[in-house]
Chain A
Amino acid sequence: DAKTTQPTSMDCAEGRAANLPCNHSTISGNEYVYWYRQIHSQGPQYIIHGLKNNETNEMASLIITEDRKSSTLILPHATLRDTAVYYCIVFRRGAGSGNTGKLIFGQGTTLQVKP
């Protein structure tokens, strides 16, 4: 699975949009971009995923560049409860020898939402 690069930490003011970048320059055509987060002392939580197109759900938006080498997770109105470590993961969903079902977590970005 492709390696991802994320900033170690970021701050965001409560009520403002949090934009978390991720670089995945070696991503291959059949790999999806997944985002998970881990709030302190809890298990990781799925947020959103995408392949090529931008995606939005009730938690966040995912913007993927046209060349797919980077993406941005957007939390439109961050709250204190969004303080967490955010993981960007590239993951091969399809069948075949490369589909191991394995999520490989890096160090993620620690997002601190401040009042």
Chain B
Amino acid sequence: DAGVIQSPRHEVTEMGQEVTLRCKPISGHNSLFWYRQTMMRGLELLIYFNNNVPIDDSGMPEDRFSAKMPNASFSTLKIQPSEPRDSAVYFCASSFTTGAKSYEQYFGPGTRLTVT
């Protein structure tokens, strides 16, 4: 299994530009999570999907952030317009969740975003 795949691994952009981060979850997993990690705030959950439906987006910082999951094998996190304070490492994770249980989350390698 290739694990969770994220692209790009590194992104450098200028303030005001649109940024799109991509994630391919592990095949067979039905839950997908987007996290952000900074030195100041640590690892924080932004949004998560179950069966392609957003369940909890309370961690999304503001309207500039949006996430989609058009199918079970692909998700995007978009920032428009980007700001320097969005600079962070963004992780995608996936897991298998039934009606009764949530199982272990497996993380991708992350996308390091730098907004200048």
Is A29's beta carbon under 8 Å from chain B? no
A91 to B45, CA, bound (A): 14
Contact of A46 among B99, B106, B110 (CB under 8 A): B106
A80 to B48, CA, bound (A): 34
Beta-carbon nearest neighbor of A99 in chain B: B102
Interface size on B, residues (CB 8 A): 27
Taking a contact as CB atoms under 8 Å apart, the answer to whether A107 and B42 are in contact is yes
Which residues of chain B come closer than 8 Å to A68, judged between CB atoms?
none
Taking a contact as CB atoms under 8 Å apart, the answer to whether B42 and A106 are in contact is yes
Taking a contact as CB atoms under 8 Å apart, the answer to whether B95 and A101 are in contact is yes
Taking a contact as CB atoms under 8 Å apart, the answer to whether B108 and A103 are in contact is no
Contact of A102 among B48, B99, B108 (CB under 8 A): B48
A114 to B105, CA, bound (A): 29
Taking a contact as CB atoms under 8 Å apart, the answer to whether A43 and B102 are in contact is no
A45 to B106, CA, bound (A): 7
Which residues of chain A come closer than 8 Å to B42, judged between CB atoms?
105-107
Which residues of chain B come closer than 8 Å to A76, judged between CB atoms?
none
Max chain A Cβ within 10 angstroms of own Cβ: one of B97, B101, B109, B110: B101
Which residues of chain A come closer than 8 Å to B12, judged between CB atoms?
none
Tell me the residues in window 43-98 of chain B with beta carbons closer than 8 Å to chain A beta carbons.
43-45, 48, 50, 55-56, 91, 93, 95, 97
Given contacts A43-B4, A105-B43, 13 further A-B contacts (CB under 8 A): A34-B104, A38-B43, A43-B110, A44-B105, A46-B105, A91-B102, A94-B100, A95-B99, A95-B100, A99-B102, A101-B56, A103-B45, A105-B42
| Chain B residues within 8 Å of A, Cβ to Cβ | 4, 31, 33, 42-45, 48, 50, 55-56, 91, 93, 95, 97, 99-110
Name 24 interchain pairs, CB-CB below 8 A, sorted by A.
A34-B104, A38-B43, A41-B110, A43-B91, A43-B93, A43-B107, A43-B108, A43-B109, A44-B93, A44-B105, A91-B102, A93-B103, A94-B101, A100-B56, A101-B31, A101-B48, A101-B55, A102-B48, A103-B33, A103-B45, A105-B42, A105-B43, A105-B44, A107-B42
